[in-house]
Structure 1
């Protein structure tokens, strides 16, 4: 199979599914005429999820027309693969629907922070000829678990860092730049870098994941979603040789040091403590004269211990000032910790710094594999399930309720999400909404909006409005 064939397969909506889905049109009751499915987080590491990423999937995959060539390609694949193929159903999509899938997708606005065990997305197809599409799209749509989980983790980490800034710093404006995305090389694919990298940017504005920044710009109407600075890697230091490490450091200041600039230099290629001594003696005046902020990156050792040792060495050489919270803020220098960074180590390092009297101003975190790769669908236990089917003209509830695992019990009925106008509480209910003493009409609003219908994207949110929604509680 040629590279061109692979590319066309990856862009074919009919093949963007699991193999067994191809046979499902033959397995539903013969009188089935419509279907309703939903997506939820059934719990997990965090009790609330930040909804993000559906717009990327819709723009990239579902706003694309199905063509006769795609049908022929899918037919050839499934025939050889051992699965039946619903050629008549897909030709109906092309000939009667203009190639666009006749499905309706509703979702909570991106940037919403919703407690788990609530419906986040609903998918409905009421066209009797292709009602099964509501389940056929599960494979593609459920991949929204990935950007949601990345965005959720970053949102919670922002809360952690913000709490320490509030306690130890006079400057909350630096918060969006305190957790930098180092994850591009640690993910499984370029697409993961793009999707996960964009998700991180709901809560932060620092990234070295180029595809993630580009995806945020492209899919969410942003001019520039994140920023970076000149930074050394080990090769740019070690290529000078150990005996010329000081020259390598000096070159970084000479090339990039200017008033207001930030220059990041990895300093543990050989001996971190010897390097810290060089920065504080031989190169100190060059740093001061440049007007730049030097950021030292220790990249080995126990993160908590190394960060404190680095801060103390820099304090001894460059000095510090005591801020309004009684914490020390280093002069002209900062630290970026990019090794062993995860949710636990971030909290541990910040707590140790606070105990030692250092403000959170002094550190930036770079997070790689733990940010974009060390998560999976079960981190937040995402699932997409059919919850209602129309047989003839009547809707019937559908649910999964295994006696062997009550946690996998699914919701039933045609579902929607309500949000209380005053408290912001969310509640999943069935349609039509029955108002009672717990859901009084006028106090609750529909939280789901129709974002896609029959090939048309109906909501095109910007990253700016998503960020505002996600962090509205900080205002």
Structure 2
């Protein structure tokens, strides 16, 4: 992610209109409470992830006089009021750190939609309005949470196919590979999204996701893996007439006993490449290498092409029959990285199952659909003020538009609870034994520093 100094002025890390809100609250207001939830969307459960990264990156460094000077200048030119006295109080009284407290469910938790994932409350009566002011920044937790959520649901789906058609699910963590780095809007998106995918899977080509996991979650260097793989330029640079020579070079350079090597094979004719190349001229070299060759189709109808490639490889290399009665190719596998999303994965695996082939024969690469084709409304994320204290009295704050009951918000100092019956929301009671939230951040201090492996175990304990 970017350095704090690059677009990192917290005063300006908000929506423009929020700079005027400190003059819009009821007279006598002195405390505020807001919550974040997924109100529904494509999935009925979300994998909460990414808050710790946002807090470390943006709230761990104090405001400075330079930030105030910049904000004063920018907002004056922008035509908006600036609460200079309020932000100066943050520096003078709080050492530059935001006087807020953040409650959150543990990252890696699989939470029902419409349950609060985190809550934010003020700790300085004179600066209560900061809770809503920081919405723009804090609500961006929607992105890593949504990427992790989609990745988790795909993992569940692939896992079910493995349970039915494979000997075990030991290879599950390598069945969906992240190809999304080039397809996202920024380096920060690649870092957050790539890291979010790694909560569920170990395969990635998004190197910056590894760096983010190490920086923000103390992840080991080996939290994600890749293998030598060809792309079209490395194959087609040999010329069409020497296509098989390009393949032979991949084997000579990278094929070693127990290793994997992936080769895109549809630069010209995928079926000729499989029959005459891999299954013909190069067949014995593949077998003798002791490596596993991973053939990558990259065009056409993924359901039909993958099935045909698997059948052609079967004709050349043969198969074994596993305990569940499904065929597993010898020496070779297939990875599909074109046109891959949660629907096409299901269709590909369903078609292979119908043909008698194990899901262990294939893996998937997912790019833009994994890291970029999501948005805040994929899971209908919102941060809403639910309570404000005026004088000594807490007031419920909520919205209930008659035109869309799906946007009805919760009232009061709302929190998440979990017991044997599952998740529920209720008013915050810090002493309740089933309270599922804890304070993770308070007045600039990080009170919880989760490591990546712990989060992975929370998210995927049912497959261990």
TM bucket, shorter chain: over 0.9
**What is the distance in 2 between the residues matched to 1:9 and 1:85?**
21
Aligned twin of 1:199: 196
SS in structure 2 at match of 1:403: coil
Return 290-299 or 125-134, whichever deviates more: 125-134
Q: What do the CA deviations read for 1:329-386 (whole angstroms, capped 9, x no partner)?
A: 1000000000000000000000000000110110000001110111110010000010
Shift of 1:58: 0.4
SS in structure 2 at match of 1:222: coil
**What is the distance in 2 between the residues matched to 1:472 and 1:247?**
45
**What is the distance in 2 between the residues matched to 1:257 and 1:473?**
34
Whether the 8 Å contact between 2:47 and 2:145 is mirrored in structure 1 is yes
Spell out the pairing of 1:216-295 with structure 2 (5 A cutoff). Answer: 216-224=213-221, 225-277=223-275, 278-295=277-294
Whether the 8 Å contact between 1:47 and 1:115 is mirrored in structure 2 is yes
Structure 1's consecutive aligned runs of 4 or more residues displaced over 3 angstroms after TM superposition are 6-9
**What is the distance in 2 between the residues matched to 1:45 and 1:275?**
39
Aligned twin of 2:304: 305
Aligned twin of 1:450: 439
The reply to whether residue 336 of structure 1 matches residue 325 of structure 2 is: no
**RMSD of equivalent CA atoms:** 1.4
**What is the distance in 1 between the residues matched to 2:112 and 2:309?**
40
**What is the distance in 2 between the residues matched to 1:126 and 1:193?**
34
Structure 1: which 5+ residue stretches go unaligned?
434-440
TM-score (norm 1): 0.95
SS in structure 2 at match of 1:10: coil
Aligned twin of 1:436: none
Shift of 1:260: 0.8
Shift of 1:87: 0.4
Shift of 1:217: 1.8
Q: 1:115 aligns with which of 99, 112, 115?
A: 112
SS in structure 1 at match of 2:114: coil
Whether the 8 Å contact between 2:4 and 2:58 is mirrored in structure 1 is no
Q: What do the CA deviations read for 1:442-471 (whole angstroms, capped 9, x no partner)?
A: 8x5110010000001111111111111112
**What is the distance in 1 between the residues matched to 2:37 and 2:302?**
36
Q: 1:180 aligns with which of 177, 180, 187?
A: 177
**What is the distance in 2 between the residues matched to 1:175 and 1:473?**
12
Spell out the pairing of 1:13-412 with structure 2 (5 A cutoff). Answer: 13-224=10-221, 225-277=223-275, 278-412=277-411
SS in structure 2 at match of 1:286: helix
TM-score (norm 2): 0.97
Shift of 1:473: 2.7
Shift of 1:127: 1.1
Aligned twin of 1:414: 413
Shift of 1:13: 1.1
**What is the distance in 2 between the residues matched to 1:211 and 1:474?**
26
Q: What do the CA deviations read for 1:123-149 (whole angstroms, capped 9, x no partner)?
A: 000312211011001000000001111
**What is the distance in 2 between the residues matched to 1:7 and 1:393?**
37
**What is the distance in 1 between the residues matched to 2:368 and 2:74?**
35
**What is the distance in 2 between the residues matched to 1:139 and 1:415?**
20
**What is the distance in 1 between the residues matched to 2:4 and 2:54?**
17
Whether the 8 Å contact between 1:9 and 1:15 is mirrored in structure 2 is no
Q: What do the CA deviations read for 1:61-113 (whole angstroms, capped 9, x no partner)?
A: 01111111111111111111111101000000001100111100000000111
